[in-house]
Structure formats: structure tokens, C-alpha cells
Structure 1
Amino acid sequence: MIVMRRLMKSLSRTPLPRTSAPLASLFLCAGLAVVPMAAPLVAPAHAQSAGRAAQVTVTAPVNALYAALGRIQAPGSGTFDQRSQILAPVVDKVYNLETVLRASVGLRYAGLSDGDKQQLLDVFRQFTIARYVSSFKPGGDAHFNVDPTPRPSPVGSDQIVTTHIGSAEDPDGTEIDYVMRSGPDGWRIVDVLLNAHISQVAAQRSDFSSTLASGNVQNLIALLQKKVKAFSAG
């Protein structure tokens, strides 16, 4: 699908029956705690409800991202800059961009000065936003399907949210998975997987490594600025 090529290049308690009262009296006389007959059903229901709430928390950032992508591809959604302004606060909220950047740069990241890290993060943010805005253009027909049940990641305590992005020409769409990590600000995206296994972070690390080979981070900053300019012109 063209878009994906662009993107990747309370349960109610049951009333007790009337016969429960004599049974309750019998249990009290025997010195046993009274447990309503419906109680065994309540605990699992609460557990299921808590589980569903946890799943919603994990998938919420992805749903928010897709809602924003739907807005920027709507007809009349504005210029590139206007659409970037729509998407930017959502990207800031749903992504842990510093974690993505650190993993994309690799071991060299630890050796960068604080100033270089901040400058690089600023342009990487612009790059991430511009790539989305360039991929989801006004009048596009991309539609988004998010699996409400995340699955555990094989790495650490991360979770993976499975989605598909399709179109009128390709209803089934392409599988795009999001690696989610919990932190002080809640669940955030830390990687994107094309067809369930092609890591965007790994692809970026490969792309960035040759540029960083000289040890000059300004070369990578210049490369990302060039990409942002190309996205905005496309």
C-alpha cells in the first residue's frame, strides 16, 4: 500500500434468591462466614473489568495517533504546516521520542553532550511528525483497525498492539504493530513493527550509523533536517 511504503521507507450483582436467607442462618449458626451465592461470579467479573481497563490504557495512545492521522488526511485539513500543528501534540503525547531516538542512535548516544542530545531530539521530533504528515495526505482513504487486546512483548514488560492500515484498494491492509512501554507518563510507543517484525528503530539505526561514523552528531542533525525539508516539499 502506498501509504505504508511512505510511512516505513461495572457488572451488576445478581439478587439472592429467597431461599438464601435460611441458608445464611444455617451458616451463621455453624460459625461460618456468610458468602452470598452470587459472590463467586463477582470477583471474576471485576478481574475481567480490570483487565479490559488495562488493555484500553495500553491501546489508547495508538487509537489517539490514528484519530489524528484521520484528521490530517481529511479533505481540506490544511497546508503541510497546519496539518503538522494538528499532529504534533499527539505525537508528543503518544510517543516516548527520547527512548526511540536513543535506541535509533545506539551506543553513541551516551557520549553526546546534553546540548547535542536536545538539538538532536528537537529535529528528530520534526522528522517524525513530517514523515507522518507526508504519508497521510488530504483526501487519503486510509482506514485504521486496532486490535483491542495487546500481547506481551518477548522483551521485558513491554506490550505489543496489533493494528492494520488499509484502504479502498486494499481492505485487509498492512499489519503495523506498536511496541508499548509503561513509564511515569503512562504507556508510550517506543517502536513500530512493519508486518509484525520489521523494526522501525532498527531501520533508523542502520540509516543513522553511517552518518554518525565520523563521530560528528551535526551530520545526523543535518541529515534529518534535509529529510524534513524533503517531506514538506512532497
Structure 2
Amino acid sequence: MFNRRVFLAFVASLPAFSAHAGEADEAIAVVRKLQDSQIDVLRRAAQLTLKQRFAALRPALDAAFDLEGMAKLAHGPGFDELPAAERADWIKSFGDYVAATYAQRFEFVEAKGFERDAKAEPRDGALVVSTRMIPVSGEPMPIDYVVKSTPQGWRIGDILANGSISELTQWRRALRGLALAELRKRAGNLLEP
């Protein structure tokens, strides 16, 4: 379920800006690169084990997602007070959790590809790249990517399924305030057949 309050808090933390064509192109390129890497895994999902799907997806998610910003929001209060090494481990384990979640889902999804809008729409200090996953059968599924400028460049900060269901909100509900050991355990459990 979409939590509007959490989503508005997320976008309120982003600096306001008006998108230039180059920024929109960069945001779209981040989404395109991520989706291109996912297509191969989606097409071979039935032949890959859960751990093979995880290994294939993890590097692309690292490159595309603002894992630090997402991990901070998912953890909730106290994240900045964690010792630096524990904070880094929490971010890594959060990335493992996200990749394991995708690896599980891809077992049940058969898709031919993705369609993307030709432009990104500014929204609350971020850019939204609208796409549709084209299944082998059935109607296309809208997937919007909230892409923001970070010190590492343009990165995905949230995914909105069907235009409004926030992945980050779901992860925040599942992980908020977890100790590092429990987060590691949850990520590992997702990779058990």
C-alpha cells in the first residue's frame, strides 16, 4: 500500500530544481541501463537458480540505485548515529535485501521487455521516468522510477509500481529499525529456496 506521508517526506528532503534536457537524458539513461540488465535475467529466469539471479542483478542495482539514501530512509531514525562501519554494512545488507527481493520476483515474471517514455517529468525535486514492463501475455505494467541527483550522479531513489505503490515504503515497513544482524538474516532468508 502506498504511504503518501512517507513518500512526501522523501521527496521533501530533495532539493528543488527544474530539469534541463541533459539531466532528463541522464535520468533516463540510468533507468535504461538497469532495465537492459534485467531483460537478460527475465528471459533466462527459468534456467537460473535464485542465487544466480541474485548475482546477475546485484551489480546493476548497485550502479542504478541510491542505496545509501534508500537505506537511510528504510532504517529510520538513528541511521546517522550508527558507527561508520556499521552504517556501511547496513547499506550493503540493504542492497543485498533489495537484490534478493528482485531475484525472487523474477522467478514468476515473464517479460518481453520494457517501454520508456521519451522524457522524464520533474516531480518534487526529482525526475520521474515512466516505463512499462511488457509481459509475455497480459497488459503492460506501469513502473515509474523516481530518479534524483546524488553526489555519485543520477540514481534511482524509489520505484512506483502502477504509478503509486512505493517500493521504498514497503521496504521501510519491513526493515525499519532493524539491527544489522537481523537485516543480514532477512536478506539471506530470501535467497533460500
CA contact (8 A) 2:147 2:155 kept: yes
CA contact (8 A) 1:101 1:121 kept: yes
Aligned: 1:65 with 2:24: no
Aligned pair partner of 1:147 in 103, 110, 117: 117
Aligned ranges for residues 1-234 of structure 1 at < 5 Å? Answer: 51=21, 53-75=22-44, 78-137=48-107, 140-141=110-111, 143-153=113-123, 155-156=124-125, 158-171=126-139, 173-209=140-176, 212=177, 217-218=178-179, 221-234=180-193
Aligned-residue Cα RMSD (Å) equals: 2.4
Shift of the 67–77 alpha-carbon distance from structure 1 to 2, 3 Å rule, reads: farther
Comparing both structures, which one devotes a greater share of its residues to strand? 2
- Gap runs ≥5 in structure 2: 1-19
Shift of the 110–185 alpha-carbon distance from structure 1 to 2, 3 Å rule, reads: closer
- Offset of residue 93 of structure 1: 0.9
Shift of the 177–226 alpha-carbon distance from structure 1 to 2, 3 Å rule, reads: same
TM-score, normalised to structure 1, is 0.65
Higher relative contact order (CA 8 A, sep 6+): 2
Alignment correspondent of 2:10: none
- Offset of residue 94 of structure 1: 0.7
- Gap runs ≥5 in structure 1: 1-49
Indicate the percent of aligned positions where both proteins have the same amino acid.
24
Shift of the 165–223 alpha-carbon distance from structure 1 to 2, 3 Å rule, reads: farther
Equivalent-residue separation in structure 1 for 2:187 and 2:151 (angstroms) = 30
SS in 1 for 2:191: helix
- 1:78-97 CA distances to partner (integer Å, 9 max, x unpaired)? 43333333222211111110
TM-score, normalised to structure 2, is 0.77
- When the two structures are aligned, how many residues end up with a matched partner? 173
- 1:174-219 CA distances to partner (integer Å, 9 max, x unpaired)? 221111111232210011112222222222222223xx2xxxx52x
- Aligned partner of 2:189: which letter? A
